[in-house]
Chain A
């Protein structure tokens, strides 16, 4: 029972980070049909920003602001320098453009900083533990879940209550119609990139607090999981992204924790089992859990 509870808390911790990243990917897909493989690089930007500030006497009191701010700026910048110029291209071209950005980002950090890992201090409380009725929790797990929950509530308010949120949702529904209603394409898309950057920035804070180090390709693994989570949920669906992230996180931790009990000697194949399940899921539901009907007029 204790093990199950701890596994679930672990799973929710990882899963909520996936969810934040997946939400950004889904948001961008909604407004311009881009599956943004450069989204993970925003984590890297956040990490190098922290590294830079810690070199000059940074403090964790204000570091999250710097991380989130830099991720937002970087996100908007990628749209300005690259995605804007391929906006009406095929999804294939858009996706490969984001790949190009990802490659360039890896190369630039290596060239201008270092190919090696750069570490900096972590907040002192991160790995402190506390107990509730025999079950011990890490402070960071609780912080992760709480921060994610707060961010999701904020996201929901922005998209349900503000004019910006409504414009983005309208654009995701039908861009041409939204433009006719007076929604400005450039502003909505820049705004969507800024918000996706904000979400990635929050995720980056949670990731960096746990393992405070910057490395050129640190975003890649997170990105792949987040893309998978977003597609599991149904690209373009906000609820889907959150559900996809949590499900993926839980699936990973539960498989890792319980697979050895079920099948002896299979522990080393836990990742493979997760990916087999993912592939099987896409065979059964190619459009994800929450299918977003992009009713193409025929």
Chain B
């Protein structure tokens, strides 16, 4: 109970501080006087909510969406059709459907109605967006934008078409916009502290590693999407009530890109970045608009020059945005980090064995695995070796659910893992590392491990779960805990990946070439690290490596693959003495 309150407090504090800074800038600006200055502040505040709405999805998941403006549009029109006074409505929308001719709501009712309608629409559409991968989600959102645009322009009974609707009762002053901005800030901050929010950040950092550690792409992305649409709806609704009118021109692709520029210039990964970007771009845009005024330079779309130039400079010089990963909330989180009380639990005795039997995999005509199999008993370290192209990595990928086998089966104890997805394999208790390092590079060293601990807390309850800091201390990484993982040196990154896998409290650790690119001395140290970690969590190990010295030192049992079949297996000494192995490795002359 204390933890959620603590998070809420931290989020509110960070939000209030940011908003106070913005308010100070705004007051300094408006004290110069003039209604136009007030309206620029209103514009900035509604942009603010829209940018934060985009940040929740785009910033946390790294999936680009062009369709957010479509939901701002739906919310604006939903607000308009219920908020416009009845007398005006019968005049401007005589044939309005759904019995809306007799509905009239106050500002709060209209806002809630718009947010509810839009969020439901977004939740349906989001299923399509979050199921797809690669560029498809971006294309789906783009298509969505055009569909909504055309429907709004042509469903004249409801929207009056391209001319738009006016006569939306205007809310007095900017008070409600400030409230809306505060709500958006707290929600955006809080989301980054929740379990599912942290998971969606992990999927942004590595789409492949996250599922391999038990994080489901769809669930975390979908949560971010729905929340994000809700915030966008709030922004759209408040903007309609602040301007007093809505029309399709406010929601074009260009309008959406303006909001996107605000997000990426400041730094999309953090809320602080989104805030900075909104203030800078709104101000810069206004400045260039005034400079391009007919009385001055007389250039109609001068702001485009500012937008394009700023974005180009930021992308070339600071692709992560001006703030990158610097974030007020993250700073607060670090300052208030409390080491969790260590819970002493008896080391578990693993009872299931990992068995892969008669596995067959063909890529087109090429037979990668032709009836290969292996068994790893509880707590045992098994080394998998073989010449290039023997099928080691393929077997590994079959076991972890990345490649699907055409024949054979994989079981963990009495649990069937054949044809499972990477997420289910990870949750069942197999944690893997990657040949070419797939850390969550922009996240802190501690967060890399803590994310897996979060998965373990839900899906690996029956096992002893080491604290992240314990694992970091074991790996000698505790002093770097607050640094971004990508800044560690190579050997430490390898050790971090091992600690991250161990945090899942798996029954087996699957290590794909843990010493690749390491010196002899380093790989010797790696033998110690792997054995220590495996003992700490009571897990068995399956390890692939090219380094024969490493494999013979670390393994209790070795399996030799050649041309998709098991060529030999046994203790390191037996395997070394086997003439078939020498032949496969060194050619017959040896």
Chain A interface (Cβ < 8 Å from any Cβ of B): 35, 82, 85-86, 89-90, 92-93, 95-97, 99-108, 110-111, 115, 216, 224, 227-228, 231, 235, 268-269, 271-272, 275-276, 278-280, 282-283, 286-287, 296-298
The A-B contact count (CB < 8 A) is 133
Counting contact residues on chain B (CB < 8 A from A), the size range is: 35 or more
A272 near B150 (CB under 8 angstroms)?
A: yes
Which chain A residue lies CB-closest to B306?
A: A107
> Which single member of B128, B136, B140, B315 contacts A93 (CB below 8 Å)?
B315
CB contacts (< 8 Å) of A99 on chain B: these are 257, 311
A279 near B144 (CB under 8 angstroms)?
A: yes
Chain A proximity of B351: nearest CB distance (Å): 29
B140 near A97 (CB under 8 angstroms)?
A: no
Chain A proximity of B516: nearest CB distance (Å): 11
A106 near B304 (CB under 8 angstroms)?
A: yes
* Complex Cα–Cα for A105 and B301 (A): 12
User: Mask for B406-435, Cβ within 8 A of A = 1, else 0?
Assistant: 000000000000000000000000000011
* Complex Cα–Cα for A3 and B402 (A): 50
> Which single member of B264, B302, B312 contacts A82 (CB below 8 Å)?
B312
* Complex Cα–Cα for A216 and B254 (A): 14
Interface residue ranges of B104-161 to A (CB < 8 Å): 128, 131-136, 139-140, 142-144, 146-147, 150-151, 154
A93 near B312 (CB under 8 angstroms)?
A: no
A103 near B146 (CB under 8 angstroms)?
A: no
Greatest chain B CB density within 10 A among A102, A228, A235, A282 is at A282
User: Mask for B292-306, Cβ within 8 A of A = 1, else 0?
Assistant: 000000011110110
Given A99-B311, A231-B136, A272-B146, A283:B128 Cβ within 8 A: yes
Is B481's CB within 8 Å of the partner chain A? no
Given A35-B135, A99-B311, A107-B308, A271:B316 Cβ within 8 A: no
Is B307's CB within 8 Å of the partner chain A? yes
Is B163's CB within 8 Å of the partner chain A? no
CB contacts (< 8 Å) of A107 on chain B: these are 301-302, 304-305, 308
CB contacts (< 8 Å) of A97 on chain B: these are 311-312, 315-316
Chain A proximity of B283: nearest CB distance (Å): 18
Chain B proximity of A31: nearest CB distance (Å): 16
CB contacts (< 8 Å) of B567 on chain A: these are none
* Complex Cα–Cα for A35 and B257 (A): 16
Given A35-B135, A86-B316, A231-B136, A296:B311 Cβ within 8 A: no
The 5 closest A-B pairs by CB, nearest first: A103-B308, A104-B308, A286-B136, A107-B304, A100-B312
B305 near A276 (CB under 8 angstroms)?
A: no
B134 near A106 (CB under 8 angstroms)?
A: no
CB contacts (< 8 Å) of A101 on chain B: these are 308, 312
A298 near B143 (CB under 8 angstroms)?
A: no
Is B64's CB within 8 Å of the partner chain A? yes
CB contacts (< 8 Å) of B128 on chain A: these are 279-280, 282-283
Chain B proximity of A3: nearest CB distance (Å): 24
Given A92-B64, A115-B301, A278-B143, A100:B134 Cβ within 8 A: no
> Which single member of B132, B312, B397 contacts A104 (CB below 8 Å)?
B312
A278 near B139 (CB under 8 angstroms)?
A: yes
Chain A proximity of B261: nearest CB distance (Å): 8
Chain B proximity of A130: nearest CB distance (Å): 35
Which chain A residue lies CB-closest to B310?
A: A100
Additional 15 contacts, C-beta under 8 A, given A231-B139, A283-B131, A296-B208? A86-B316, A89-B315, A89-B319, A92-B62, A103-B311, A105-B308, A106-B308, A108-B305, A275-B143, A275-B147, A282-B136, A283-B132, A286-B132, A286-B136, A297-B393
Chain B proximity of A72: nearest CB distance (Å): 22
Name A's interface SS: helix
Given A228-B139, A282-B140, A298-B402, A103:B304 Cβ within 8 A: yes
> Which single member of B139, B264, B299 contacts A282 (CB below 8 Å)?
B139
Return 13 A-B CB contacts under 8 Å, by A number.
A100-B311, A103-B304, A104-B312, A108-B305, A110-B304, A224-B253, A269-B154, A272-B146, A272-B147, A275-B147, A278-B143, A282-B139, A286-B133
A110 near B299 (CB under 8 angstroms)?
A: yes
* Complex Cα–Cα for A272 and B135 (A): 21
B132 near A282 (CB under 8 angstroms)?
A: yes
* Complex Cα–Cα for A235 and B139 (A): 12
Chain B proximity of A174: nearest CB distance (Å): 14
Chain B interface (Cβ < 8 Å from any Cβ of A): 62, 64, 128, 131-136, 139-140, 142-144, 146-147, 150-151, 154, 208, 253, 257, 260, 264, 299-302, 304-305, 307-309, 311-312, 315-316, 319, 393, 397, 402, 434-436, 438, 512
Chain A proximity of B172: nearest CB distance (Å): 36
* Complex Cα–Cα for A224 and B139 (A): 10
* Complex Cα–Cα for A282 and B151 (A): 21
A100 near B315 (CB under 8 angstroms)?
A: yes
* Complex Cα–Cα for A276 and B264 (A): 29
* Complex Cα–Cα for A230 and B566 (A): 44
A298 near B435 (CB under 8 angstroms)?
A: yes
* Complex Cα–Cα for A276 and B393 (A): 41
* Complex Cα–Cα for A95 and B316 (A): 12
A298 near B308 (CB under 8 angstroms)?
A: no
* Complex Cα–Cα for A81 and B134 (A): 27
A111 near B299 (CB under 8 angstroms)?
A: yes
B136 near A104 (CB under 8 angstroms)?
A: no
B134 near A228 (CB under 8 angstroms)?
A: no
Chain B proximity of A177: nearest CB distance (Å): 15
Chain A proximity of B59: nearest CB distance (Å): 11
CB contacts (< 8 Å) of B301 on chain A: these are 106-107, 110, 115, 216
Given A95-B64, A101-B308, A104-B305, A85:B146 Cβ within 8 A: no
Which chain B residue lies CB-closest to A270?
A: B150
CB contacts (< 8 Å) of A90 on chain B: these are 319
CB contacts (< 8 Å) of A269 on chain B: these are 150-151, 154
CB contacts (< 8 Å) of B140 on chain A: these are 279, 282-283
B302 near A111 (CB under 8 angstroms)?
A: yes
A86 near B319 (CB under 8 angstroms)?
A: yes
A82 near B308 (CB under 8 angstroms)?
A: no
Which chain A residue lies CB-closest to B432?
A: A298
* Complex Cα–Cα for A78 and B311 (A): 15
* Complex Cα–Cα for A108 and B435 (A): 47
A298 near B319 (CB under 8 angstroms)?
A: no
A286 near B134 (CB under 8 angstroms)?
A: yes
* Complex Cα–Cα for A216 and B136 (A): 29
Chain B proximity of A165: nearest CB distance (Å): 24
Chain A proximity of B428: nearest CB distance (Å): 19
CB contacts (< 8 Å) of A286 on chain B: these are 131-134, 136
Which chain A residue lies CB-closest to B128?
A: A283
> Which single member of B136, B139, B143, B302 contacts A276 (CB below 8 Å)?
B143
CB contacts (< 8 Å) of B316 on chain A: these are 82, 85-86, 97
A268 near B143 (CB under 8 angstroms)?
A: no
* Complex Cα–Cα for A250 and B307 (A): 36
Chain B proximity of A217: nearest CB distance (Å): 9
* Complex Cα–Cα for A296 and B134 (A): 13
* Complex Cα–Cα for A269 and B153 (A): 10
* Complex Cα–Cα for A110 and B150 (A): 28
Chain A proximity of B268: nearest CB distance (Å): 9
* Complex Cα–Cα for A179 and B260 (A): 35
CB contacts (< 8 Å) of B311 on chain A: these are 96-97, 99-100, 103
> Which single member of A104, A224, A275, A282 contacts B309 (CB below 8 Å)?
A104
CB contacts (< 8 Å) of B253 on chain A: these are 224
